[in-house]
Amino acid sequence: MLYLQVLINGLVLGGLYACIAVGFSLVWGVLNVINILHGSFVILGSYVAYFAYVHLGIHPFYSIILAGAVLFALGYALQLGLINRVVGAPVLTTLVLTFGLDLLLNNAMLVAFSADYRSIQLANPLGRMDLGEVTLPLDRVASMLFALGLTGLLYLLLGRSRIGRAIVAVRMDREAAALMGVRVRRVYAITFGVGAMMAGAAGSLLALIFPISPLNSSEFLGIAFVVCVMGGLGSITGAMIGGLALGVIESFAALFIGPEHGLTIAFTLLILLLMFKPTGIMGRRGYE
């Protein structure tokens, strides 16, 4: 029964990991940019949810929309104003640029919100449900369902909507898409915005579970790395499977080896995967 409980905890965590990683994966896949800002985007989303709850009494589940909108605007502006200019440059340029922007954003958050860990104490939590010997923490389960729902929505957006098809087209062949009348630069900006939006939404869900501080951003960035490489770059189902797998692995590792080693194990796994199977568990696939 203990194992079942650990498995469920892992899946709950993994759903959130999937939501963190999916925006990162989208940006990497479509723009070929590793967005070092992603971790700070998640944290900013958490702060939006935190302040919305503390000052306006908005439940974090509703501030997904707010955080998503704020982050979309930020991401869209950053891409249109800065990153678009170097999007075709060598890997090092975009990496160093987003790293610089991350230093800026993270420092701004440190100054504005301080490094203190904050957390949301819900006035009326959903509590927990006992199923036999397994306990379900309902708030966390609901967050995970929201996270998976958002990931699913993104999947639908890419598959069904006009802008989604444009994003997929640009990913497949930029020149051909441009010839078909797709405005590539705008699609890039929207893609980056959507990536940031997913980070913001994930952050607002995470605000219920993890303490919030700018110091945590690199941890979330690391998670996005691992999930993307595990699931294989460029597919939403890959990110979903990678996220769930990482969550389960981490929670079993915490049980057998010790909770403080969760991320180390994830990173070790990442290096091994990169060495032996860099295309990820799912193999290389696009956003078809």
Partner 1 sequence: MNKKAVVSVAVVVAIIAALPVLGDNYLMRLGTMFGMYATLALSWNIIGGYAGYPSFATAAFFGLGAYTGALLQGAGVPMPLAWVAACASAALFAALLGLAILHLKGHYFAIASLIVGEVLVEVATSWRSLTGGGMGLNLPVLRMGVEAQSRLFFWSMYTLGVLALLMNWLVARSRLGFGLNCIRQNEDASAMVGINTKRYKVMAFTCSAVLVGGAGAMYASWVYYIEPPDVFDVLTSVKPIVMALLGGAGTVLGPAIGAGVFLVMEEVVWRNFLDVHSAILGILIVALIFLLPNGLLGLAIRRRKAAIVARLPTLAKRRKA
Interface residue list for partner 1 (CB under 8 A): 28, 32, 34, 82, 85-86, 89-93, 95-97, 99-108, 111, 218, 222, 225, 229, 260-261, 263-264, 267-268, 270-271, 274-275, 278
> Closest distance between partner 1 and the C-beta of residue 102, in Å?
7
Q: Which residue pairs from 224-227 have beta carbons closer than 8 angstroms and sit at least 24 positions apart in sequence? A: 224/20, 224/21, 224/24, 224/25, 224/38, 224/39, 225/24, 225/270, 226/266, 226/267, 226/269, 226/270, 227/17, 227/18, 227/20, 227/21, 227/24, 227/25
C-alpha 124/C-alpha 112 separation (Å) is 29
- Cβ-contact 32, 89 below 8 angstroms: no
> Closest distance between partner 1 and the C-beta of residue 197, in Å?
22
Helix, strand or coil, per DSSP, at residue 38 = helix
Encoded tokens for 208? 């219920």
Nearest to 28 by CA among 254, 282, 241, 229: 229
- Cβ-contact 12, 205 below 8 angstroms: no
Pick the closer one to partner 1 by CB: 110 or 145.
110
Pick the closer one to partner 1 by CB: 39 or 164.
39
Pick the closer one to partner 1 by CB: 218 or 237.
218
C-alpha 220/C-alpha 201 separation (Å) is 13
Pick the closer one to partner 1 by CB: 39 or 203.
39
C-alpha 76/C-alpha 80 separation (Å) is 6
Helix, strand or coil, per DSSP, at residue 235 = coil
Pick the closer one to partner 1 by CB: 65 or 82.
82
> Closest distance between partner 1 and the C-beta of residue 99, in Å?
6
Pick the closer one to partner 1 by CB: 157 or 263.
263
Encoded tokens for 111? 């100054």
Cα-atom radius of gyration of the chain, to the nearest Å? 18
Pick the closer one to partner 1 by CB: 135 or 264.
264
Pick the closer one to partner 1 by CB: 97 or 206.
97
Encoded tokens for 246? 């990482």
Helix, strand or coil, per DSSP, at residue 212 = strand
> Closest distance between partner 1 and the C-beta of residue 211, in Å?
19
> Closest distance between partner 1 and the C-beta of residue 270, in Å?
6
End-to-end CA distance of the chain: 40
> Closest distance between partner 1 and the C-beta of residue 193, in Å?
19
